[in-house]
Amino acid sequence: MKKRIVDGAEVGRLVATLADAIAARHQGEKNLALVGIRRRGVPLAQRLAGLLAERGWTDIPVGAIDITLYRDDLKLVAETPVVRGSEIGFDINGRTLVLVDDVLYTGRTVRAALTELLDFGRPRAIRLAVLVDRGHRELPIAADFCGRAIETGPDDIVDICLSEEDGEDGVYLTRR
């Protein structure tokens, strides 16, 4: 049964909490950039950039990466993968990047994203911001900024809905 565990208003508060935490940790830093993992990490990164701008941070570039071809399970996922492309229109060398995704689960998506980012250059540091951490890591990866941690079983499904992609904001949990 699918159950909404976070409503739209709470999603907005969680994104604001992430923006506050990023601003506090990187106060005074000049070379900060956000990179969203396609699909839902990109609108989250754009929302974060807007909230950071409201907090006095100007000119924070936002990029997007598509990790499809960097997945370690590509052959298991799709015979013909759909690649949406990466768009990083700024030099990442020497920058602090905040990698943004909707859900942190096994860590494999983040591992693929790190591998791809390093193909673009050598950032000074990479931090990870996620809206939801659901646990059950397979790789030693942890979020630097987390909107909310939720307890799940390994077979549960966590769906994040964002208005830019889905027409509404919300977090849904399906228990099997």
Does 141 have pLDDT greater than 70?
yes
Q: What is the pLDDT of residue 176?
A: 82
What does the block give as tokens for 131?
């809206």
Does 17 have pLDDT greater than 70?
yes
Q: What is the pLDDT of residue 83?
A: 57
State the pTM of this model: 0.92
- Report the amino acid identity of residue 170: G
Domains along the chain with CATH numbers = 13-151 (3.40.50.2020)
Neighbours of 49 (CB within 10 A): 22
pLDDT category of residue 78 using cuts at 50, 70 and 90: low
Neighbours of 152 (CB within 10 A): 20
Return the axis-axis angle of helices 8-25 and 41-54, rounded to nearest 10°.
Answer: 60
- Cβ within 8 Å of residue 118, ≥6 positions away: none
Task: Say what percent of the chain tops pLDDT 70.
Answer: 91
More confident site: 77 or 141:
141
Does 75 have pLDDT greater than 60?
no
- Cβ within 8 Å of residue 89, ≥6 positions away: 61, 63
* β-pairing verdict for 157-161 and 32-37: unpaired
Mean of the per-residue pLDDT values for the chain?
92
What does the block give as tokens for 32?
């900060």
Q: What is the pLDDT of residue 85?
A: 75
Q: What is the pLDDT of residue 77?
A: 52
Q: Which long-range contacts (CB under 8 A, 24 or more apart) does 6-10 make?
A: 6/132, 6/148, 6/170, 6/171, 7/169, 7/170, 8/163, 8/168, 8/169, 8/170
Q: What is the pLDDT of residue 171?
A: 97
